[in-house]
Structure 1
Amino acid sequence: MTNHDINLHGKTAIVTGASRGIGLAAAQALATAGANVVLTSRKQEAADAAAAQINGSAIGVGAHAVAGDQARRCIELTIEKFGGVDILVNNAGTNPAFGPMIAQDHDRFAKTMDVNLWAPLLWTGLATEAWMGEHGGSVINTASIGGLGHEAGIGLYNVSKAALIYLTKQLALELSPKIRVNSVAPGVVRTKLAEALWKDHEEPIAAATALARIGEPEDVAAAIAFLASDAASWVTGETMVIDGGQRLGDARSYQNGALVDG
């Protein structure tokens, strides 16, 4: 077995939906490891502002995740500027639908599936065609622990993430052996997208979590950098759960001597 440092010098990464949250943290983690990083956002100004926060080699590109022409242009620009695209982080996500599944209209369904499922497939296909198919690469999709279970109110979002986990496995087989495809499944993380899940009740969520806090974007970013690197060179088709133990259930009954006989 060979030990690998997370060394991405000479590599180039694209991170979609990178203007804030997990995407921005992932871009910084990849840059810290030595990669050139292209950060995308729907608006060029937001992409530029995000890239300006990165300590390392980074540029911003305005590209709506579901727009094929913009995605293709971004990938072409990346190859022109940096000479290739070795890492793709499909991070752009949305959750416009809340409530029972049967209460959702087609517009909310289509937007959720387009951004959370079609966009990762679109970008992966374009990156494969333009570079990775010949040269190899690593793709990391941002899924969610919601895709591994059930939860009231965000069923449509969770269905899209469950499908993304399946897509990750399917692409890992279809693109093997040159391209590795994995996903991360964050729990409740301090991001704007997940704000409704934690903002008004962070304390009880943290108390019920085995590691006693909600997640930070950097927690997920570290896993993304690992999966992008040669340290994960024999890992593909996997979904790495990063949730502080939230899927284990309520930790409070196990802590503070609760199981010790008095």
Structure 2
Amino acid sequence: MQTHSRTGADTSRFDLTGRTAIVTGASRGIGLAAAHAIAAAGGNVVVTSRRQESADAAAAEIGGNAIGFAAHAADEDEARCCIDVALERFGSVDILVNNAATNPAYGPVCDQDYARFAKTFEVNLWAPILWTSVATRAWMGEHGGVVVNTASIGGMGFEANLGVYNASKAALIHLTKQLALELSPQVRVNAVAPGVVRTKLAEALWKEQEDQLNSATALSRIGEPDDVGSAIAFLVSDAASWVTGETFVIDGGQRLGDAGLFRTAGAINV
């Protein structure tokens, strides 16, 4: 276990040089942004995607010490192989970002079948358990490490047509706290909970209504993948060394409610 001195505004605490991260589902969107941010801080990065060509393209875009690896998030053999490759290539697995997600179960909960339910929970909940377990046994349990799970503000409330997806993210938020206790003090475990972000997965939530979302959001825009990627890079750094079991909401104020109602009320006279 590393110890950390109090050094004030020590920017070196954000430095990830010499550390290795695996980011699942990193060929685009939040996963790719997180991989970019970790690499920019000096880290080695293994990016996964279901297709090798997509993983390789992401690694080439990131540059530096980034490699691509084809792995289905819920495939145990592929998870083990990926972690073995990371250890062989870089010598450690210090950071795990469980980002891969899916949502085939769009619509009312009672309209879903078991196959769509099972796929949602397999990728969104079981895969983070699987990768965290393998990484802990292979490296982190002995040497220490950091895990970040990509959850969602949907896991903190209720939305039409997203009941199964949001239930999987609510469970992931709970799981984050459970793992933070079970793996302490060697491994820190946190989550990020993005609001509506400009990603392919969330496209149905913003593509036809971006203007309305912007006007209703306190910071007047939907999120960009980099907004979340930068937060993940912070959580895996020593700057967050006393943070574990937490869920970092990154939503531009979307959970606060309709900001447009406050703007139309006019400015406060002082």
Q: Judge which range, 241-250 or 42-51, deviates more.
A: 42-51
Deviation at 1:131, TM superposition (A): 0.2
Q: 1:9 aligns with which of 17, 22, 25?
A: 17
Helix, strand or coil for the counterpart of 1:185? strand
Cα deviation, 1:196-248, whole Å, max 9, x if unaligned, reads 00001100101100000000000000100000000000000000000000000
Helix, strand or coil for the counterpart of 2:218? coil
Distance 1:89 1:55 in 2: 18
Residue 21 of structure 1 aligns with which residue?
A: 29
The 8 Å contact of residues 32 and 55 in structure 1, kept in 2 or not, is answered as: no
Distance 2:257 2:121 in 1: 28
Deviation at 1:2, TM superposition (A): 3.5
Helix, strand or coil for the counterpart of 1:46? helix
Distance 2:246 2:194 in 1: 14
Residue identity matched to 2:81: R
Instruction: List alignment gaps of at least 5 residues for structure 1.
Output: none
Distance 1:64 1:53 in 2: 21
Distance 2:51 2:145 in 1: 27
Q: Percent identity?
A: 70
Residue 243 of structure 2 aligns with which residue?
A: 235
Deviation at 1:260, TM superposition (A): 4.2
Q: Judge which range, 51-60 or 26-35, deviates more.
A: 51-60
Distance 2:266 2:64 in 1: 47
Distance 2:130 2:268 in 1: 53
Q: 1:129 aligns with which of 127, 133, 137?
A: 137
Residue 90 of structure 2 aligns with which residue?
A: 82
Distance 1:142 1:193 in 2: 13
Residue 146 of structure 2 aligns with which residue?
A: 138
Cα deviation, 1:78-116, whole Å, max 9, x if unaligned, reads 000000000000000000011111111000000000000
Deviation >4 Å, runs of 4+: none
The 8 Å contact of residues 146 and 158 in structure 1, kept in 2 or not, is answered as: yes
Distance 2:41 2:110 in 1: 45
Residue 210 of structure 1 aligns with which residue?
A: 218
1:93 aligns with 2:101: yes
Say how many residue pairs are matched.
261
The aligned runs of 1:96-115 (5 Å cut-off) are: 96-115=104-123
Residue identity matched to 1:184: V
Residue 150 of structure 1 aligns with which residue?
A: 158
The 8 Å contact of residues 253 and 259 in structure 1, kept in 2 or not, is answered as: no
Residue identity matched to 2:61: Q
Please tell me the root mean square deviation across aligned C-alpha atoms, in Å: 1.1
Instruction: List alignment gaps of at least 5 residues for structure 2.
Output: 1-5
Distance 1:32 1:259 in 2: 41
1:69 aligns with 2:77: yes
Q: Judge which range, 242-251 or 99-108, deviates more.
A: 99-108
| TM-score (ref. length: structure 2) | 0.95
1:251 aligns with 2:251: no
Distance 1:120 1:2 in 2: 34
Deviation at 1:55, TM superposition (A): 3.5
Distance 1:161 1:37 in 2: 25
Residue identity matched to 1:206: N
Distance 1:233 1:2 in 2: 13
1:194 aligns with 2:211: no
